[in-house]
Structure 1
Amino acid sequence: MIKIKELESLTRALAMLSGGLDSILAAKLIKDQGIEVIGITYKSYFFNEENARRMVKQIDIPLEVVDFSEEHFELVKNPKHGYGKNMNPCIDCHAMMMRYSGELLKKFEADFIITGEVINQRPMSQNAGALNTVKKESGFSDKILRPLCAKLLPPTEMEESGLVDREKLMNINGRSRKVQIELAEKWNIKDYPSPAGGCKLTEPGYSKRLRDLLDNNDEVTPRDMELLRYGRRFRISRNTVIISARTKDESDLIKPILNSSDTGFIVDKYTGSMVVLVGEATEEGIKLAAAIAARYSKGKDEEKVTVRYGNVTKPYNGIIMVTPATDKELEQYMI
C-alpha cells in the first residue's frame, strides 16, 4: 500500500503501468503537465510487478501493486473476446485492468486513468475497434486517456474540461518505436524491457503447456501454475507430469515448490538434470521418469544406468536400472 502525500496540484491521475516503455512515457507526458501521477500495476500468475518497480523510479512516481491472480486466471480460461496469437486474451485483460483501475479512482481521489496504448501498434488488441471495446467494457470509458495517441482519437472529457492540455499530447500510430525511443532518450529513461517481454501468455511454448495443464488436470492449483514456468514437461497421464530442469538455476527455482506428493530422481555416478514426477507415481511412471533422468545426464550414452528415486522430502531409497530414453521415444510425451 502506498501513502499519498499532500500535494498542491488539483489534478491527479492513475497510470496503468505494464512495466514497458509506452506506459511509463504516457505517465511522464501527463506528469509534465503538472498533474500528480500514481502508477498502478497488476500481478497475476502470468506477469509480475518487477519491471514496473524499475520504471517508476526513473520518473519518480509512487506505485500501487494489485494482485488479481485468481480473477485473471478465470478470465484466461474463457475470455469473452478470445485469444491473440497464443493464449493471451489481451482485450479482456486490458478491460479488466481498466475496471480495477477505475474502482481505485475514488480510493486515491484521482480524476482519470492513463494508459500507454498506441493505436495500431498491435493488430488485434490495439486497433481502433479493440480500443473502443476495452473502454466500453471497463465501465469507466469517460475516465480513460491514452496520451501517446490521443490526437488520433476523439477528445476526452479530461481534455474538453481543461484538466489536460490536448496540444501537449501525441499522435503516435503503428508499430514503429522510433518516437518512443526518442522520448526515452530525451527524458533519460534508459532501463526498459523489450516490447515482447512481460506476459507469459504471449509465449508459444508456455501457452502450449498451459493449455495442456487446463485440459488434463481436474483442479489447477497455484502450485501447478508456479511449476508451469520451469523445465521440460512430459505428460504421462491425466493429472501426472514429469518435469526435467534445464539448468541449475531452474532446479533451484523448482525445489522450493515441491512437496511430499512429488517423487524425485537422481542418476548414480553421473551428473545431470533434476527430474521430478508430479502426480501418481505408478510403476510405469517411475520407469519413464528414471529413463528421462538418464537421458538428461552425463550417462545418456550408456547402455544402462542406475537411478535412485523417492519422495522429495525423504532420502531416495528406491533404485532402478534403466536404459536412457531416446529423443524419439520422448516425442510422444513432451509438451
Structure 2
Amino acid sequence: MKKILILRFSAMGDVVLLVPVIRSLTAANPEVEITVVTRPKFAPFFYDMERVVVFPADVDYTYNGIFGMRDLFRTLIRKADYDLVIDMHDHIRTIFLRTLFKIFGTEVVVFNKGRNEKKAFARKENKVVAPLPHTVERYKKAFEKAGFTFDLLPPPYFNLNESIRTTANEWLAKKSLEKKEKWIGIAPFAMHASKIWPLENYATVIQKILEKMPAKFLLFGGGPREVKYFESLKAKFPGHCEVVADQLKIRQEIAIMQNLDLMLCVDSSNMHLAALAGVPLLSVWGGTNPDVGFGPLGKGEESIIQISRTELPCRPCSVYGRESCYVGGFPCLTRITAENIAEKILQRIS
C-alpha cells in the first residue's frame, strides 16, 4: 500500500475541491491510501471515503507557528511512514512542514497554485484574461506529477451514510417539509463584499417566483448575522421559507441540498458544496470571475450569471474577493437585477 500525505489547511472552498480529486484517485488506484491534513472543521468532507483518513490539525492553537509545525511533523511521522507528501496549499505553514519531510527523505510534490497568472487576471490594468485551469485540475495535475493517472469521476462526490440521510430526513419531517413543489436553496453570503449580491434583492426574487409557481425556499449559511437575515425572509414569506443555517452538521446539510431543484448562490463554499453534491445551481458573480479557476465544477454557462467584461472591464478586481470597489458601489453586483435572476431560475426549473 502506498501512503500519501496531503496538506491543505484552508480555505473551505479550496479544501472541499480536493474531494472529487481524492475520490477519483483512490477509485482508480486501489494500492493508494490517503491521509488528509486539514483544519478539524473541514475533516467531515473526507469521512466515509475508502482508504482515506483525516488528521485534524488545529493550526490556530495546538499546532500554531513554527514550533507548532515542528510538533505536527513529529506527530505525523509517528503515525505512519509516508511514501509521498503533496502540498496542496503552498503556504508558509505547509512550506515549512514539507521541508521537514524532505529533509528526512520523503518525496515531496507541490501543486502549481498559479499565483502569477491569477494576479495578472485580476490586476487593475492590463489584465490577462485567458481562462485559467480549474483548481480541481490543478490538484489533479499534482497527482499526475507524482505518477498517478486517473479520470475525474462524475458527481455527486460526497459519501453520505445512511445515518446522515436519516437525520436529514428526520429534520425535514420535523419541519413538515414534504416535496410537493419545487425546492430552491438560497445561499447569499460569502467572505467578501465584492461577492455578495445585494441582500434586499432576495425578497423580490422569492416574490417573483411565487407569483409563477408554488415553491419552498431553503436558506443556507451560518452564524448569527446570517440567521437573523434568514429569519427576516421567513417572516416575510411564512410557509414558503425554512432556515437550514446552523440547524445541522455539514454533511447533513449536504444531504438536504440534494433534495433541491436548484441552489441560488454566490461565489462561495456553498456554491462548491452544491456543485459537488450534484445539485443544479445558479451562481451570481461580482468582483471575482469563474475563469480564474474557482467556477462551479462541471457546470456550464447556464449556471453562471455575471456582467460582461465588455460592460465592466474592471472585472475581476480580485482573485478571492475584496471589501472595496475601484469604481464605487459594486456595479458588477447591482446591475444584476432581481427580475433577471427570478426569470433565469424559472427557466431552469419550470
TM-score, structure 2 as length reference: 0.28
Q: Return the structure number with greater relative CO, CA threshold 8 A, min gap 6.
A: 2
TM-score, structure 1 as length reference: 0.28
